[in-house]
Structure formats: structure tokens, C-alpha cells
A and B are shown apart, each in its own frame.
Chain A
Amino acid sequence: MKHPNIKLCTSLFSFALEWNSGKYSLEQLMSKVRELNLGPGIEIIGFQSLKGFPYLSDNTIVDVRRLIEQFGFEPACLDANVDVAIRRDRLLTIEETVEYIIPQIWAANKLGFPVLRVQMTAKPEVIKKLVPVAEKANVKLGMELHTPYLIDHPAVVALRELYEEMDSPFLGFIPDFGTSMRQIPDALLHSFREVGVTDELIAITKEIWQKDIPTPAKFGELQERASALGATPPQIGRLNMAFSMNGRQDVNAWKEIIPQTVHLHGKFYGFDEHGDEPSIDYAAILKVFYEGGYRGYVSSEYEGTAFTDEFTGFEMVQKHHALCKKILENIQEKEYARTV
């Protein structure tokens, strides 16, 4: 018998263009995702899709639960935001941050989501105080590891130490594939051209990005070489995005935290003519998680809308599902062939 596989999921983050256009209600958006068969998992960002989040009325809770059930989705992950800079005069204190997240944990509980995405702006002291709430609400806290938070980043190391100390099944990680990229997405590079960046500058940026040096050293080298070619400060600012948005962590580095992985963010930007994602090695990453024993969801998270409106979120998530499905079936077939 074949083993269970990693499951597909769609994050409504992928439809930023469609959602911000105001042309879709939540029901219409979810209906379209169902029609295109982009489940079974569904991921919702509270502050994107739910007005009044995290203080939801009973009616809203009933409505959202009804939609999830009606369209046959499995609630995979609700995304919290840890908005520590919501005040302009100062950052939220540890206590205030805890109080900011608690209602978001309960929103996940009431909506039926087993996992709540949290962000690195929640320091270990905050997470420690949230564990009893997460346990009571039966909601796992999944810390998103988004670039620049590689698994050996000092802040991540501190969190891993806390996880070890607490040893709670309610603490986990959500690796974001944008942390392990093989090249800068073309869509991002094309957007640089719109602000007058030359092909020569783009080539230099790509070359520096590939180097095994710390990110600050990359900023420095780019500053020096791009200035010498006459790049303006705003252009250099845009090029710096290539270093800050796209991580180069070895895919094998994830192995250490697979037992604590509670969800996956399948970030993607675009596809080549074969349906492959040129900037992220999906075959390699999914193999690492599958072989490491992960059997949760990989959630399609299309972020190309940050640079281009050439494609709809729907067509891009369809392509992403097709790619992941092909890779996962291939991995499973090979394993099955080995065991029979």
C-alpha cells in the first residue's frame, strides 16, 4: 500500500490582485478555488479576508465555517500577523504583543483551523507566554521562516532553543520556500527595468546574489559596483530587494526542523514552458520534506502579483498545483517501487 503523501492547499494570499480589485466576495473567491479543484487544503490570512479580524462576530464565524464545509475544503492554516509596529511612537511591548496574538489564536479555534501562522516579530518571550493559550485553544503556532530567517539565523536559533525547552506539540515551524531559491525570479528582474535599471546592472545583481557571502556584504558590493556604473540610489534600493526577498539556503538545511514542521508555504513567482518554477527547485525541496517524514500541506502562495499583473492568481495556482502534484506522485511512485 502506498503511504500517505504531502497534501495540496491554496492560500488566498495568491489572489491579491483579484481580491483588491473588489470584484470578488469571499464566497465567490472560494467557489472559484473549488471549481478549479485547488484544494483540499485552504489557508486564509485573517487581515486580508475577514473584516474586523480577529474580533469576528458569531455570524461571520458561522459563514466562514459554512463556506469551508460547503466547498469541501480542509481548513489547513489561518495566518496571524504580529504587527509590533502598529503604533508609530513605539513598538508593542512583550505583554502587548501577547495580547495582540491571543484573539488571533481564538479566531483560528473558532474557525476550525488547526494551525495559526505567526511571524518572527513575536520574540521567544512572547511565544513562551502563548503556549498555554495555544494548548487550551488546540491550535498549533507555526512560526513562518521567511527570508531572511534561515534556520541558523540567531533569532531562529533562539526560538529553536525555546522550542526544545518547552517541548510542546503546539509549537512548530512553517518554512517558506522563498528562503531556498536557486535564482532571482525573472518577474522581479523585469520590474527593475521599469525603473531604468540596465541589463548590465541586473547581470551584476544576479552574480552577487549567487555568492556565498553574508547579505550585508552583498549590499556593500552592489552599492560599489552599481554606483560606478551610474546607478541612482532609488535604483540601487530596488536592486537590494533581490537580496532581501530571495534566500539562498541549501534545501537540505530544512532537514533539521522537519519534525517540527506544521505547514509549508509553497512560495512561487512564475513558470517556464515546461511548467517548472525556474527560481525555486520544487523537486529538490519537496523530496527533502517527503523523505524527512512531513505529511502535512504544501500551500500554494503566489507572490508574483508584487511585480506583475500579466497572469491571474487562478492560472498561476493551477500551474503550481500541477507541478507539485507531478513531483509528489513521482516521489511516491519511486518509494512504492522500492518497497514492493
Chain B
Amino acid sequence: MGPLDNFILADDALQATPTGFTLQFHSHWYRSLPLSCMSCKAIINGQAIDESEVFIEANGNKYPFSEMPNLYKEWLFITDGARLHVNGVEPLQKGKQYNIEFKLDLFIPYILVGREGNPLLASSTVTKQLTCN
């Protein structure tokens, strides 16, 4: 979308866990939004993630990924990251590089567009080689 996309995935965004991995992301808007105004999709080494095995964490609170549209009270401050917890996959190897394609959709809640008056969709996709920590 624009230069703020550069902050979506930091170099240390990918971390191995005993049950899979976590991926931290930041929003590419200029202000904080709640999780209800976000949706995302991650592809690792060409493999899409099974969303039924994903949890989203913000402010230390963890929710099933499918709950995101309902989380209008869980705010992600603009300089804070949210973390996807991905389970049920082969754990990643620390020190190895992975290709991450990450799509972040933001539904801007104060800009209504079109005949239906839907929130403006601000979508960004970033692709990055990340070393797993």
C-alpha cells in the first residue's frame, strides 16, 4: 500500500515454538485499530496456514483466529505488535530462513465507501525472507 508496509514484519518476527511457530506483525495504518478491524493470511514457504490451528495474541490476550471479527474491544496500539500462534505444523528450525508471504487487511472504521457504506479496505501484502529465532 505504501511506506508504512515496511513495518508490518520486523526481521525478528518469526519464532519457533514446541508446537509450531509464532509470527509477529504490526499494522500499516497510522493509528491504532481494534483486532475486529483486521484480517490476515500467512503463507510460509508456499504453504498456506490452516487457520483452525491459529490463535491471535494482543496485549497478552490470546483468542482463536476465527474470533478476530468480534474483537472490537481488543485494541492493537499502533507501535505494538500482534502475534499469530500457529500450531499443528512441523516446528520450525531456529536459524533457518523461511519465505513468508503475509497479507494484512485493515477495515478502516471511520471511512465508509461505496453505495453500501462499507469500511474502506486498506490491504497490504508483504513477502520477506525471515530467519527463525
**Measuring CB to CB, which residues of chain A are less than 8 angstroms from any residue of chain B?**
13, 16-17, 19-22, 45, 47-48, 51-53, 81-89, 91, 119, 121, 191, 244, 305-309
- The SS class assigned to the B binding surface is mixed
Contact A84 B26 (CB under 8 A): no
Contact A86 B7 (CB under 8 A): no
Contact A88 B2 (CB under 8 A): no
CB of A73 to closest CB in B, whole Å: 20
Contact B69 A191 (CB under 8 A): no
- The SS class assigned to the A binding surface is loop
Contact A22 B110 (CB under 8 A): no
B112 sits at the interface (CB 8 A): yes
Q: Knowing A19-B79, A88-B107, A191-B2 touch, does A47 contact B7 (C-beta < 8 A)?
A: no
Residues on the A chain within 8 Å of B28, using CB: 20
With the chains together, A18 CA to B72 CA distance in Å?
A: 27
Contact A305 B3 (CB under 8 A): yes
Contact A20 B109 (CB under 8 A): no
What range describes how many residues of B lie at the interface? Answer: 20 to 34
Would you mind naming 30 contact pairs between A and B with Cβ atoms under 8 Å apart?
A16-B4, A16-B30, A20-B7, A20-B79, A21-B7, A22-B7, A47-B31, A48-B78, A51-B77, A53-B32, A81-B31, A81-B109, A81-B110, A83-B37, A83-B110, A84-B109, A84-B110, A85-B107, A85-B110, A85-B118, A86-B34, A86-B109, A88-B69, A88-B107, A89-B69, A119-B110, A121-B112, A305-B4, A307-B2, A307-B3
With the chains together, A306 CA to B37 CA distance in Å?
A: 19
Residues on the A chain within 8 Å of B75, using CB: 52
**Measuring CB to CB, which residues of chain B are less than 8 angstroms from any residue of chain A?**
2-4, 6-7, 26, 28, 30-34, 36-37, 69-70, 72, 75, 77-80, 107-113, 117-119
Residues on the A chain within 8 Å of B31, using CB: 45, 47-48, 81
With the chains together, A13 CA to B109 CA distance in Å?
A: 18
CB of A116 to closest CB in B, whole Å: 14
